[in-house]
Structure 1
Amino acid sequence: MKTLVIAEHDNGRLATASLNAVTAAVRFGGTVDVLVAGHACDAAVAQARAVAGVARVLKVDAAHYAEPLAENLAVLVQRVATEGGYRAVLAGASSFGKNLAPRAAALLDVAAVSDVVGISAPGRYERPIYAGNVMVTVESDQVLDVLTVRSTAFDAAGSGGSAAVEEIAAGPDLALSRVVGRELSKSERPELGTAAVVVSGGRGLGSGENYHRVLDPLADTLGAALGASRAAVDAGFVPNDYQVGQTGKIVAPGLYVAVGISGAIQHLAGMKDSKVIVAINKDPDAPIFQIADYGLVADLFEAVPALTSSVAAT
């Protein structure tokens, strides 16, 4: 049995979501191949071949794969999956995977299974519905399954592998889309999706100025990434790449500090798998307290600076 993982990368470095997808692919048994399609992507290929559990890296180097355009990649995945005789094709449930997997599945004439959090056996998968309130088992009798896997449900694969590298022919350039620019926020803090500690703020902070004045010192002291609820993002406190939730980023850090967040179901779906949840809110009936390991009913403008000072002193 063979499984194929579609690598997400920037031509120089694999995304962590791809390492989680490799761990999921190993659950199928058999061999795991990784498809790296890019341009001048030798560094990404080298990283992929060193991932534990990978048997072979399929390298495709062409100018029209310099950007991960789903239209071009889906056609390539269709050909590779068909010719390779794979049992499953996997990608991380990131924006990349969510864009690519349904297109590839449609071309392969199979149904995609999204946001998989458990693999009991080939053709038997667990995934959340109703914003994570219900877990369902999906059974598939397809010859080939196309899956996106939730990164927080699978550990990232380690290093130490020495996979073979095989160069394969590129697919066509369909010229259906192009990248005209990127706006990337830069930060010295950890990346939100993979951070061990996350400090998130909600509408209770009142403004973007208050968000940074109150939360930045705590995040700096804890070495944490900054996140936010959808309400805070919609109010313009912070950019939308800070958003944690069903329509934002799914996180599962060791410590999640929710400040001024009521705990709407949309937000809880993105962070309730955190190992330890600390909630600070002045409303004792806020839903966030139902899942918090530690809750403090207090004015956040007094409690957070006091917490920051206490942590800094230890």
Structure 2
Amino acid sequence: MADKGWYTMHWPSEYGGQAIPFTTQIAYREEMAYRGAPIAQPGFEAPMLMFHGQPWQRDFFLPKIASGELISWSQGFSEPNAGADLANLQTRAVRDGDDWVVTGQKIWNSQGHHPWVDWGHYLVRTDSDAPKHRGISYLIIDMNTPGVVKRPLMDALGRRRWSEIFLDNVRVPSRNVIGEENRGWYAAMTTLSFERSQIEAPARRLRDLERFIDYARDARINGGRLIDDARARHLLAEARILIETGRMLALQVASIQSKGEVPMMEAAFSKLFHDEMTPRVYETIARILNQDAAMTVGEPRAPLGGYPAVNSYLSWMNRFAGGGREIQLNIIAQRGLGLPR
């Protein structure tokens, strides 16, 4: 895919893209997500670098992203003592000559413990006297630097999906600042806006729903096919409407991105809707399956290999990634409706 330039086809030509309309890229991303294909894509680091990166950062990282050499980053935002108040982060960076010396701890770090993740983008406090949103800088950190310690975290299903990252006097070159010093919060909001877009999410939900519909065509209930049960058909129709509504919201976000703009409020609304919609889709499947919905992977009688139970668990955990419900409501109120803090 990288050799064909498919997942960077919409990038401007100066960054190695083909300047193909963004709508073509969206169609590609939706189709790949629907098919369940293992997809490497620029994610939200590439647009963040295009908007805020230093020239050397764009020249160094964007070709690696486009070639598929750099497909995963360690994102260092959340901290154990900050909770949902991200701007209350305590990881500190002190200037020492041409370096920043970083000390602190990050948690719920996606992919950071994997050996193939060489780079991370981290929020750190560089001015303790400034208001909390204005004393933060955004650094690119080489994850193989001495002082970086990675500890994987288990999820509810026993999988290592996240990690804690400990930073003990980690030296980071001063030129690794993304955007402006002490204004990293604003660059990070661009990152989060693209993370919240949810462009692939409706295609994944549709794939899961249609897999269940195929299952229901053969499954039996009350002497007949499950798919012919009136209650089941009504619930499935409701779930399909929710998925299509989510797709319309995601396409609105994509439309704004295609103009080279950052959809802060629209991305927050899309994430808020998908955070509510996704558990409801799997709850719909659970209501139709009744007690069988509790069986998970590894149980011989589990419907569809137990994926409905697994996805239901994950849908609740993933609500907090990129900011929980209250965070999105605040963004919509302040950025979209102009309401005061």
Would the TM-score normalized by the shorter structure come out above 0.5? no
In the superposition, the TM-score normalised over structure 1's length comes to: 0.30
